[in-house]
């Protein structure tokens, strides 16, 4: 069975396709007291560089607890695809996936064709507009102060440039 790209997904109750993705980041959404996890958030990327957010509700966590790890590559099938909320998205993707009781997750051998890191900048001049219009908005940490030391990495079929970026924190 071949793999679909995240960019091919459309909202549907149950997806019949299979994704090959790297889990870039995993973080919980929890109660204010920190004693209850409501769901786990996932940031996924495929070999075309398409990203989307995913989630695992707390009642499904025992099924996936030991299977999902940041940085690893997985084949994921039998998941739900929904429209992403307009606020609090961490990607520009308009969809997100939900892992359910029927979802199958299989760890794959690491591959160099899927990026290990991804980072997108939002211009400071676009920040207020994006927020006012309920568009994609990620964490605001600071603004770029300066950059240096560009290094080009050759890793199999991928060419990556690594740039050291210095942020000026916004207080």
Question: Over 10-32, what HEC string results?
Answer: CCECCCCCEEEEEEEEEEEEECC
Whole-angstrom CA distances from 12 to 9, 49, 83 are 9, 22, 9
Question: Which of 110-139 are b and which e, b meaning 16 or more Cβ less than 10 Å from the residue's Cβ?
Answer: eeeebbeeeeeeeeeeeeeeeeeeeebbee
CA pair distance 27, 40, nearest whole angstrom: 6
Q: For 120-146, what is each residue's pLDDT tens digit?
A: 655 556 655 655 555 544 444 455 666
Name residues of the chain where pLDDT drops below 50: 136-141
pLDDT of 98: 93
- What is the set of domains in the chain, with CATH numbers? 6-108 (2.40.50.140), 124-169 (no CATH)
CA pair distance 25, 50, nearest whole angstrom: 15
Task: Copy the structure tokens of residue 107.
Answer: 């760890």
Q: pTM here? A: 0.71
Task: Copy the structure tokens of residue 111.
Answer: 């591959």
For the chain, the 3-state helix, strand and coil shares in percent, each to the nearest 5, are 10, 45, 45
DSSP code of 4? B
């Amino acid at each position: 069975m071949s793999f679909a790209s995240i960019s091919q997904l459309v909202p549907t109750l149950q997806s019949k396709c299979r994704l090959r993705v790297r889990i870039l980041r995993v973080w919980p959404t929890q109660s204010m007291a920190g004693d209850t996890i409501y769901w786990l958030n996932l940031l996924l990327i495929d070999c075309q560089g398409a990203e989307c957010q995913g989630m695992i509700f707390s009642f499904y966590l025992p099924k996936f607890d030991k299977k999902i790890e940041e940085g690893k590559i997985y084949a994921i099938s039998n998941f739900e695809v929904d429209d992403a909320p307009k606020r609090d998205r961490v990607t520009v993707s308009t969809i997100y996936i939900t892992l359910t009781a029927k979802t199958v997750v299989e760890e794959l051998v690491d591959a160099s064709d899927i990026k290990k890191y991804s980072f997108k900048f939002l211009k400071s001049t676009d920040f207020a507009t994006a927020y006012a219009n309920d568009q994609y908005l990620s964490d605001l940490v600071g603004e770029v102060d300066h950059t240096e030391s560009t290094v080009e990495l050759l890793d199999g079929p991928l060419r990556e440039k690594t740039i050291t970026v210095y942020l000026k924190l916004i207080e």
